[in-house]
Amino acid sequence: MLIKCPQCQVIYNIDDNVLNDQGLKMHCSQCNSVFTAFLSDALPKDPETSKNEVAEMFEKTYGDNIEDLFAPELSNRSKTKIRVIRSMVYKNKINWFLILIILALFSSLLYFLRYDVVRYAPNAEKFYQKLGIESIQDGRYLQLDHLSTEEFVSDNISKIKIKGIINNPSEYTLNILPLKVSCYDQNGQKISETFHRIDQTRTYPHFKIPFEVVLTNPTPGYKNIQITFTDFTKGE
C-alpha cells in the first residue's frame, strides 16, 4: 500500500501485512519527520489515482518528464545505454591501438624491404627520397670483368690506361661507387692509391658498363695494379 508523509508529502510503498490497526511508526527519509501511519491513511488502490498523486509529488522536480519515472523499463534502459557507450569507447580504443600497430608494422616492412619495393616499383624511389631514405643500394654486388692495362706516352707524359667492364649480375638497380686504383711494388707494398668516378653513377639489373681510367705519371717502381670499388665503410 501507499503511505504519504504528512509533512513533505513523500509517498512510500509498504507491505500490506506490515500495517495493522495499531498503526506503524515511520521515519521519513526526506524530511526526517516521525509519524504514525494507519490503515486509514493508505492512498486509494486505483492505479491511475495512485500514479497521479505520486506524480504530483515529483512534478516540481521533474516537470513535464514525470511520466518517464513510471516506466518500469527506464532504469534498465539507462543502464543498458551506459554499458553500450562504455563498450563502444573500449572497442574504439582497441581499434585505434590495432591501427597503430598495423601502421608501425607496415612502415617497418616498407623500410626493411625498400630495395625490393623499388625493384618492383621504381617510382617508389621518389617516395623514399621525400622521406630522406636511401632506397638504391651501393654497388656491393657489382663485378669488374675483362680488365686490361696499357702503358703509353702522350705529350711526353707517361700514362697507364686501365679498361674493363662493370657488370651488375643482380636483380637490383645499384649505385656505382668510385673505383679505387692501388699500385704495389715488387715486394707487395702499396706505393699509391687513387680514386676515380665514372660518368654513369647507376647501373640497372644485368647491365654491363664499359669504363676507362687513365693514370698520369704513375709512381716509378710499381709492379702490380689492383682496381676495386671504394670500400663501403670509407668515403673517397
Burial of 182 (0-12, 13-18, 19+ CB in 10 A): middle
- Considering only the top CATH level, what class is 137-229? mainly beta
The domain spans of the chain are 2-69, 137-229
Residue 90 has a pLDDT of: 74
Alpha carbon of residue 3 to chain centroid: 64
Q: Where are the beta strands (DSSP E) in 104-223?
A: 137-138, 143-154, 157-167, 174-175, 179-184, 190-196, 202-203, 208-216
Name which of 68-77, 169-178, 222-231 the model is least confident about: 68-77
Confidence check: pLDDT of 140 > 70: yes
Q: Residue 142 pLDDT more than 90?
A: yes
Compute the distance between CA of residue 69 and CA of residue 207 in angstroms, rounded to an integer: 84
How far apart (Å, rounded) are the C-alpha atoms in residues 43 and 3?
6
- CB-CB contact of 8 with 26 (8 Å): no
pLDDT for 58 beyond 80: no
Q: Which tens digits make up the pLDDT trace of 20-33?
A: 777 778 888 888 88
**In the predicted structure, residue 124 carries a pLDDT above the cut 80:** yes
Q: How confident is the model at residue 233 (pLDDT cuts 50, 70, 90)?
A: very low
**CA–CA separation, 30 and 3 (whole Å):** 14
Q: Tell me: pLDDT of 130 over 90.
A: yes
CA distance linking residue 23 with residue 14, whole number of Å: 13
**Whether 193 contacts 178, CB under 8 Å:** no
Q: Is 114 helix (H, G, I), strand (E, B) or coil?
A: helix
